[in-house]
Amino acid sequence: MNDDDARELIRSVIGEVAPEADLDSVGPDEMIQEALDLDSIDFLNFVTGLHERTGLEIPERDYPELATVDGCVRYLTHATT
Amino acid sequence: MSAVTYREALRRALDDALRRDGRVFLMGEDVGRYGGCYAVSLGLLEEFGPERIRDTPLSESGFVGAGIGAALGGMRPIVEIMTVNFSLLALDQIVNNAATLLYMSGGQFNVPVVIRMTTGAGRQLGAQHSHSLEGWYTHIPGIRVLAPATLEDARGMLWPALCDPDPVLIFEHGSLYNVEGELADDAGEVDIEGAAVRRAGHDVTIVSYGGMLRVALAAAEALAGDGVDAEVVDLRSLRPLDTETLVASAVRTHRAVVVDEGWRTGSLSAEVAARITEEAFYDLDAPVGRVCTAEVPMPYAKHLEDEATPQVRDVLEAVHAMGA
Amino acid sequence: MGDFKMPSLGADMDAGKVARWLVKPGDVVHRGDIVAVVETEKSTIEVEVFQAGVVEEILVPEGTEVPVGTALARIGAPAEAGAPAPGPVPPAAAVPAPAAPAPPAPVPAPAAPAPPAPVPAPATAAVTEHPGVVVSPVVRHLAERLGVDVHLLEGSGPGGRITRADVEAAALVPVGERPVSAVRGRRAPARRRRPAPQPAPSGAGGKRVSPWARRVADDLGVDVATVEGTGPGGAVVERDVRAAAARETAPPAPEGAKVHRAPTEPSASDERQAAMRKAIGALMARSKREIPHYYLSTTIDMSRASRWMEEENATRPMTERLVLPVLLLKAAALAVASVPEMNGFMVGDTFEPSAEVHVGVAVSLRTGGVIAPAIHHADRLSVDELMAALRDLVTRARRGVLRSSEMSDPTITVTNLGELGVDSVFGVIYPPQVALVGFGRVVERPYAEDGMVGARPCLTATLSADHRASDGHRGGRFLAAIDHLLQSPEGL
């Protein structure tokens, strides 16, 4: 998966979890949870959504890497190569 | 601006009318030498003379008829019937002559008579002398019925009433004559059609007229202390009724109470309630409330009379009962 | 006997999908029972059946999309045979003359023998929704008495009003040929009947609601049937509706709510938002006015709970992972057993403890506002069940599809605003409840145990409680119970 695909995927999953959220308004190093007002259930849904789309197992200890948009992109591109 | 009483405001209106138009004259029991039963015309005989200020015999049917005749003849009479109680003796003249002649003559004869009457209770005058029969008169097509409750209206309603080519009845509540307030020195005519919102509010509309306006306003003050913001509407013109203002108010506040010194049954308050219900039904949060005199002939003893007539606490009770 | 058909739930709806059947063959249904959940492009709606009988056959399985008007299920006459009952009579002339002459006046609907010239019913299931259809109380009572759904009628009165004659004419239509009632998403939960016999209220039993209160209820999404009336004669008046709205703080649901409005109309949800803010404000003001709050807080060592959860989640598939709030909810629900004065309702001046524990969960709606629907019997659910329930509840809350029982039943509420970075939250109790438990965020704090100082994940748990129901001592014991439970997370 390349960067663009990863970004698209993230956008799509966020769109399901929080339909009114505007991912474009989140800066690359901003905390997604804070910026989009996601609670732990939302975040779990987000991570589960990524899992369902990619088949990736995302252990809880990896959650901190998914805290920002850039972090998510990096995680997804690395994990799928 | 000066401090005047309601009585003085009426007198100023009479003075002004007598000056402006030579066809205007005042007639009634004790209006001349005595200066008026309620001292409204005090001093006018001296000023305008016996042709313009005419004492009549104690015969309502007779002198009201004479007034109607004078109006038919081209004069602009102001007929003073001492109180609405005595107008019953002139009911035939008013209802069957004054109100009908324009129609029965096929439009040939106008009857431009103004009839002033004192009305209401509260002065321990007993069952026969305490009526509030304005509501009866509002039932009759062909006449206009006014109820000035403020100094401005007392001063300003007479001239337009005189200018009306058709009969006009003006009711003055007996308890208002001594009420004092500020009136502009150049206060003049007022519009005789249309109700007035005397106090704007948004929780409940209290509709009233004449002597009850002060009760309504006092109740509104008390309600404000309870956190209820009441709107008070003064009808001013009892026939025709300003339905538009009433309905607009009820639509805004969703609750309406009518305070009427007449008895409930078949009263003006019933008419007001019916009109509000007809046009604002779907905006109402509760049925229109009515605070009226108890259905008994008016008691003579003061404490019983007070008990029988609408008091501020009765209005408060009615407002709270409708969930405001 | 008749078919339950796919209803038209909007002027532009062509087809719908039965997302879920709520009945199966053999089930007895009553008029008004919710029998299926139907998905359309715009919303998810719980649909009522408008005939009484027994489900004979499900004709369209779950997940299939069918055009409006397609028969979805066959409903047969109920077991007791014998004449006129709910079975509709064919309108054709081949009907034996009824024993009593059918009067031209309205006949009680279910038992109506076919009158000589029945009014032909609209054969299709097409339902026209009237924006703001106005129905006077008298007509409404009549409709209730005759078993007619006013929402399905064309009003012949001025301005489209439903008149007596409209209701009476509709009552003459045999039951099986009437259009199936469509219930819009937001209303659906509230119209579900309790498991009592079919109510057919007599005129005197109909609920009184002032016309204005009805309109306010419409705007705020409140079901007047659930509102206690304090107006003249026990009628429901505006303030009752607003109080109920403040309690329920109905969710916005802009799409499903008013079918006749364009779904993208911004002002509808703005108004709804404004209405919700106002309702929340009113609720909070009332709470502060009426409830003598006292507040306690305690810091809870979350190391055991966090570690347990990590270990659990490591062994579980992703879809079964737990989140910390679930443990906190369970702990609060269980702690109630030690201090029952935290769980129940103030009724007038008396505290009535509840035998059941329905924990209200404060869910913030991203469009603004907070609602706190209940997870029923939270104390009896396993942590997994609680997790599933929480996920489901939060999702539905945000989508605006909640059941009225979820809004009215919480016996105690938990708020987790700490999730978003607040250390401790001292909330305002939702009347008529008597307690609100708050959980702040987990932070590392220095912690001393057995003379050793280390850093541990801790959170601040707070309690806002009603001093009429409990005192600081009991409140303290409650928080201590929660603390204790969280030290043995495997027992939750």
- For residue B293, the distance in angstroms to the closest alpha carbon of chain C comes to 21
Q: Is B279 a catalytic residue?
A: no
Catalytic residue check, B320: no
In this structure, is residue C110 part of a structural domain?
Answer: no
CA-wise closest residue to C343 among C418, C279, C436: C436
Q: Which pLDDT score, from 0 to 100, does residue C129 have?
A: 42
Please tell me the least confidently modeled range out of B3-12, C253-262, C328-337. C253-262
Does B282 contact C212 at a Cβ distance shorter than 8 Å? yes
Interface test with C, best of A39, A51, A54, A57 (most C CBs within 10 A): A39
Q: Is the dihedral of CA A66, C418, A44, A20 positive or negative?
A: negative
Q: Chain B contact for C213, CB < 8 A?
A: yes
Q: Do B323 and C237 touch (CB under 8 A)?
A: yes
Whether the Cβ atoms of residue A58 and residue A45 lie closer than 8 Å to each other: no
Architecture of domain B2-183: 3-Layer(aba) Sandwich (3.40)
More confident residue, B44 or C388: B44
Residue C93 buriedness (CB in 10 A; 0-12 / 13-18 / 19+): exposed
Out of B282, B321, B323, name the one closest to residue C134 (CB): B282
Q: Does residue B281 contact residue B168 with C-beta atoms inside 8 Å?
A: no
- C195 Cβ contact list (under 8 Å, min separation 6): none
- Total-model pTM: 0.47
Least confident of A6-10, B175-179, C133-137, C226-230: C133-137
> Which pLDDT belongs to residue C272?
61
A37-46, B202-211, C289-298: range with highest mean pLDDT: B202-211
Q: Give the domain CATH number at C335.
A: 3.30.559.10
- The predicted pLDDT at position C259 comes to 36
Cα dihedral across residues C313, C314, C317, C319: positive or negative: positive
Q: Which of the residue ranges B151-160, C155-164, C304-313 has the most confident prediction, judged by mean pLDDT?
A: B151-160
**B285: three-class secondary structure by DSSP:** coil
Query: Measured between CB atoms, does B254 come within 8 Å of chain C?
Result: yes
- Residue A81: pLDDT band with limits 50, 70, 90: low
**C385–chain A nearest CA distance, Å:** 15
Q: What is the pLDDT of residue B188?
A: 94
Beta-carbon separation of B285 and C210 below 8 A: yes
CB contact under 8 A, A20 and C420: no
Residue type, B231: E
CA angle (B38, B81, B50) in 5-degree steps:
75
The pLDDT of residue C437 is above 80: yes
Chains C and B touching, counted as 3 or more CB pairs less than 8 Å apart: yes
CA distance B247 to chain C (A): 14
Residue B206 and residue B257 in contact, taking contact as beta carbons nearer than 8 Å = yes
Residues 6+ apart with CB under 8 A from B194: B236, B237, B242, B245
* pLDDT of amino acid B135: 96
Phi/psi of residue C18, nearest 5 degrees: -75, 105
* Smallest CA–CA distance from C394 into chain A, residue: A41
Q: Which of B8, B29, B80, B129 is catalytic?
A: B129
What distance in Å separates the CA atoms of residue C163 and residue C145, rounded to the nearest whole number? 15
Percent of chain B beyond pLDDT 90? 97
Of residues B16 and C46, more confidence is placed in B16
Q: Say which residues have a Cβ less than 8 Å from residue C438's Cβ, sequence separation at least 6.
A: C414, C415, C416, C417, C418, C424, C425, C426, C427, C461, C462, C463, C464
C53-70: per-residue pLDDT in tens? 999 999 999 999 999 889
pLDDT digits (tens, 9 = 90+) for B280-320: 999 999 999 999 999 999 999 999 999 999 999 999 999 99
- Hey, where are the domains in chain B? 2-183, 196-321
pLDDT at B90: 98
Element (H, E) at C335: helix C324-335
Token pair for residue C27? 């089930």
pLDDT, tens digit, 9 for 90 and up, residues B228-256: 999 999 999 999 999 999 999 999 999 99
**Is residue C369, in this structure, part of any structural domain at all?**
yes
For residue C396, the enclosing domain spans 292-491
Residue A78's Cβ-count burial label (10 Å; 0-12, 13-18, 19+) is: exposed
- How many separate domains does chain C show? 1
Per-residue model confidence (pLDDT) at position C454: 84
Q: Which of residues C324 and B98 earns the better pLDDT score?
A: B98
Q: Cβ separation of A39 and C416 shorter than 8 Å?
A: yes
- Which of A40, A42, A62 should one mutate to test binding to chain C, selecting the residue with the greatest count of C CBs within 10 A? A40
The secondary structure of residue C263, as a DSSP letter, is: T
Helix (H) / strand (E) containing C28: strand C28-29
Cα C437 to chain centroid, rounded: 23
Q: Which of B59-63, C197-201, C457-461, C482-486 has the lowest mean pLDDT?
A: C197-201
CATH of the domain spanning B196-321, picked from 3.40.50.1970, 3.40.50.920, 3.40.109.10, 3.30.499.10: 3.40.50.920
Q: Which residues between 20 and 59 in chain A have a beta carbon less than 8 angstroms from any beta carbon of chain C?
A: 20-21, 33-34, 37, 39-41, 44-45, 47-48, 51, 57-59
Q: Which residues of chain A make contact with C313, given a CB cutoff of 8 A?
A: 60
Neighbours, chain C (3 or more CB pairs < 8 A): A, B
* pLDDT computed for residue B323 by the predictor: 78
C212 touches chain B (CB under 8 A): yes
| Residue C122: pLDDT over 60 | no
What's the Cα-to-Cα distance from C166 to each of C112, C161, C162, rounded to whole Å?
Answer: 17, 9, 6
C187 found inside a domain: no
> Is C56 a member of any domain?
no
Taking contacts as CB-CB distances below 8 angstroms, the residues of chain B near C210 are 284-286
Residue C121 above 50 pLDDT?
no
A47/C390 Cβ within 8 A: no
Q: State yes or no: pLDDT of C338 exceeds 80.
A: yes
Contact criterion met (CB < 8 Å) for B284 and C210: yes
Minimal Cα distance from A16: which residue of C?
C395
Question: Given a cut of 50, is residue B217 above it in pLDDT?
Answer: yes
Q: Is residue C273 part of a domain?
A: no
Calculate helix-pair angle for C383-399, C324-335, nearest 10 degrees. 110
Q: Which of B187, B184, B267, B131 is nearest to B13 (CA)?
A: B187
Whether C443 has a pLDDT exceeding 90, the answer reads no
Structural domain contains residue C156? no
* Integer CA distances (angstroms), C103 to B117, C107, C112, in order: 57, 7, 11
pLDDT attached to residue C182: 46
Q: CA-nearest residue of chain B to C231?
A: B323
pLDDT surpassing 90 at residue C91: no
Which element (helix H / strand E) includes C76?
Answer: strand C71-76
Is C364 an interface residue toward B (CB < 8 Å)? no
User: B121 and B298 in contact (C-beta within 8 Å)?
Assistant: yes
What distance in Å separates the CA atoms of residue C319 and residue C313, rounded to the nearest whole number? 10
C425 part of a folded domain? yes
Whether the CB-CB separation of B178 and B7 falls below 8 Å is answered with yes
Q: Write down the ipTM of this complex.
A: 0.79
Place C177 in a pLDDT band, splitting at 50, 70 and 90. Answer: low
Determine the pLDDT at residue C268. Answer: 56
Question: pLDDT for B192-214, tens place per residue?
Answer: 999 999 999 999 999 999 999 99
Inter-chain contact C318–A47, Cβ cutoff 8 Å?
yes
Average pLDDT over chain B, rounded to an integer: 96
Asked whether residue C151 is assigned to any structural domain, the reply reads no
